Structure 1
Amino acid sequence: MKFVVSSTDLLSHLQAISRVISNKSTLPILDNFLFDLKDGKLVLTASDLEVTMVTSLDLENSEGEGIIALPSRILLETLKKFPEQPLNFDINMENFAVDIVTEKGKFSVVGQNGEDFPELPELDADKSSNLQVPVDLLQVGINKTLFATADDELRPVMNGILVELSQESMTFVASDSHKLVRYRRLDAKTEFEASFILPKKPAGLLKNVLPKESGDVVVEFDDKNAFFTLPNYKLVCRLVEGNYPSYNAVIPQDNPYKVIIDRSEFHNTLGRVSIFSNQASNLVKLKMSNNELTVSAQDIDFSISAYERISCQYEGDEMEIGFKSGFLADILDNLNSSDVILELSDPSRAGILLPFENGENEEELMLLMPMMINV
């Protein structure tokens, strides 16, 4: 089996799928990339059993066909050192010896039998659903919610993004029980109602490859697996099993206190003041009074404190609430609007942050649980 491939083309495709490969794999074959040559097309696969990613290259020059697993670390490290040039792969399918021949040299490795590589799961036809989603819509949905997923071994359902499909909208939800994000698109609808929980790792992989793609993503899923088929990549992952908590129940509906504030000014002030907060709690206090927001923090142990006032739109009773500064900064980072609305009911209930202006066909809501203020 022989083929010629561009070194930079091969490297870019392998790098994109290499993030799948786990350092803690129990199957040695999974430390390899799977090369499958057939009809002048080279299909490349990486897997950790839970997540599998596939991409392909059209070759102008190839001979024979076959399937072989090649060591990922050696391949990636070698390809990174090559300038752009054609690489001639000469593979002996009897002993899996591989010669990579360049204009000036030869690099030899030994692969493994590609037949030992795990096969892709198959969807249950009776339980499967499918839809087409624009690439940019899926990309925004993941970008808006991935930061709010949890790392909770006891509640694995919180470690992914809930994707809900209905006749009205497509909704992305993530929460780590401190913060919650709900991003809804009214221009993505399905004839059926369904939902699945996309784990954090494949969501991160999609976040990396979606900007390289255009057009639509074909999403197919059943109760165990999901397939995301893009023009140049295919990602298959095992879904998180279980029921996502009823997130709408924790969103306060009646919030009489509303602050409208410049997002970047708020974010910059928070960044300066939070340096003076207690390192263990990261508590910052927000005090609202007539058209003014005071952000303050202190660390009694080191006798440091800071406060800064910002102009805002606020008419109502004076109120003070505490938040963890890192979580609040994360939320402000992920709101794109120039002004944000902070909705509050009382210091013991969650605060809601909304963009002052939603994009067309989108609704965005971010929620943050308060911290107790020690008076």
Structure 2
Amino acid sequence: MKFVVSSASLLNHLQAISRVINSKNTLPILDCFLLDLKENTLSLTAADNETRFETWVEVTNADGNGRLAINAKNLLDPLRELPDQPLTFDINDETLEVYIYYHNGKYNFVGLKGDEYPQPKELKDSAMSLVLPADTFSEGINRTLFATADDELRPVMNGIYFDITADNIIFVASDGHKLVRMTSTAAKGEGRASFILPKKPATLLKGLLPKETQPVTIKFDENNAYITLANYTMVCRFVEGRYPNYNSVIPQNNPNSLTIDRLALLNALKRVAVFSNPASSLVKLQLSEDKMVVSAQDIDFLTAAEEVVPCAYQGTVMSIGFKAVFLIDILNNIPSADIRLELSDPSRAGIIVPTEKEEEEDLLMLLMPMMLND
């Protein structure tokens, strides 16, 4: 088979899907892209054992149909060095030898049989369908992905939980220390359903969704999903297992409430945390009516820091400890000028919410405290 394709367009699509490919694969063919030519459309696929990512580009002067697998490095590395120009692919269907001609040169190598490339699992007849705006899907992943875990013992925590109802979709992520719950009424399901989207496909989607203008369709059964974007289709396997009851860990009665400038607190934490004990990253927040004192110390090296941040606080005077890196993560992922911190006592989780709510979105973040030594 033979075809001509723009090098920039080919590179753009291959780079988007190449992140699926693992650095070490049990099947050598998973080191490859699958190319499938049908008339003037060239489908490009990359996969690992759990996730499959497909896109397509238009080609010209196509002659013949067929499929073959090409080593990803052989295709991507030279493409990155080529200026935009038409590339002519000439593939011998018998020997699978590939010749790629460009402006003043050519390179050639041998491909693998495309029929050996793993095929995606078909969805069961009981599969459900979900259509949601690309920006809602993007926000849901952006707000929660940072809070997912890397826990081999509890794999259910290593993904984003989608809790779907007929009224809304709730995106949840937690690593046992911090928890994020984002409720969106901009999308809803056909009925009650749920699944856990693994971290890897979520990270891939995070890069693509901001460029999408069309709604995204997710068709899924208990184990797998087909996620369809305008120019991409992803097939991924869910994390198996039952997600914990996330609502049960959110404290309901929090009489102590504090409103503070998000950036002022964030910057104070970044400065003060430098002086915390590296092993614990503990910072202490002392709360009183009109100020928060942020402090940290490392007794081993006799270093300490303290900074005062103005705030509006209603409640009893108290001190509470948090892990600085987790609190910084949370503040970095809240889209609001001011935040509200709600507390019951220093031993229970703190709830952090934006004071300005986004339309059709309800965001709540939770952080478990650390014990203070004094």
Equivalent position of 2:332 in the other structure: 333
Distance 1:257 1:72 in 2: 56
1:348 pairs with 2:347: yes
- Inter-partner Cα distance in structure 1 for 2:28 and 2:316: 64
Query: Which amino acid counterpart does residue 297 of structure 1 have in structure 2?
Result: A
3-state SS of the aligned residue for 2:336?
Answer: coil
Moved over 6 A (4+): none
The alignment's TM-score, normalised by the length of structure 2, stands at 0.99
Give the CA deviation at 1:59.
Answer: 1.5
AA aligned opposite 1:54: E
Q: State which drifts further: 209-218 or 36-45.
A: 209-218
For 1:137 and 1:286, the matched residues in 2 are separated by 34
TM-superposed deviation, 1:315: 2.7
Aligned to 2:156: 157
- Deviations 1:109-131 (CA, angstroms, capped at 9, x unpaired): 110000000011100012x1001
Asked whether the 8 Å contact 2:130–2:190 carries over to 1, the reply is no
- Please name the residue that 2:255 is paired with: 256
- In structure 2, how many angstroms separate the alpha carbons of the residues matched to 1:108 and 1:360? 54
Identity of aligned residues (%): 56
Structure 1 residues not aligned, in runs of 5+:
none
Aligned position for 2:131: 132
Q: For 1:108-123, what aligned pairs fall within 5 Å after superposition?
A: 108-123=108-123
| Alpha-carbon distance in structure 1 between the residues aligned to 2:163 and 2:257 | 29
Please list every run of 5 or more consecutive structure 2 residues that lacks an aligned counterpart in the other structure. none
2:74 is the alignment partner of 1:74:
yes
Name the stretch that deviates more: 53-62 or 175-184: 53-62
Aligned partner letter, 1:89: F
Equivalences for 1:1-375 in 2 at 5 Å?
Answer: 1-126=1-126, 128-375=127-374
Residue type at the aligned position of 1:279: P
Q: Helix, strand or coil: the match of 2:138?
A: helix
- Corresponding residue SS for 1:195: strand
- 1:60: how far off? 2.6
Distance (Å, rounded) in 2 between the aligned partners of 1:85 and 1:144: 39
Question: Using the alignment, how far apart are the partners of 1:59 and 1:81 within structure 2?
Answer: 21
How far apart, in 1, do the equivalents of 2:39 and 2:250 lie? 55
Deviation at residue 357 of structure 1 after TM alignment: 1.2
- Is the CA contact 2:132–2:188 (under 8 Å) kept in the aligned structure 1? no
| 1:133 to partner: Cα distance | 0.7
Deviations 1:331-375 (A, max 9, x none): 000001000000000000000000001111110000000000001
Q: Secondary structure at the match of 2:205?
A: helix
The one-character-per-residue Cα deviations of 1:85-135 (angstroms, maximum 9, x if unpaired) are: 100000001010000011211100110000000011100012x10011111
CA distance in 2 between counterparts of 1:131 and 1:200 reads: 20
- Report SS of the residue matched to 1:61: strand
AA of the residue aligned to 2:170: T
Of 184-193 and 131-140, deviating more is: 184-193
Q: Are 2:341 and 2:351, in contact at CA under 8 Å, matched by a contact in 1?
A: yes
Contact 2:2-2:64 at 8 Å conserved across structures? yes
Alignment coverage as a number of residue pairs: 374
Task: Work out the CA distance in 2 between the residues paired with 1:295 and 1:285.
Answer: 6
Measured in 2, the distance between the counterparts of 1:191 and 1:82 equals: 47
CA distance in 2, matches of 1:318, 1:131: 47
1:223-269 superposed Cα distances (whole Å, 9 cap, x missing partner):
11011000100111000111000010000000010000000000000
Q: Secondary structure at the match of 1:75?
A: helix
Computed over aligned residues only, the root mean square deviation of the Cα atoms, in angstroms, reads 0.7
TM-score, normalization: structure 1?
A: 0.99
How far 1:189 sits from its partner (Å)?
1.7
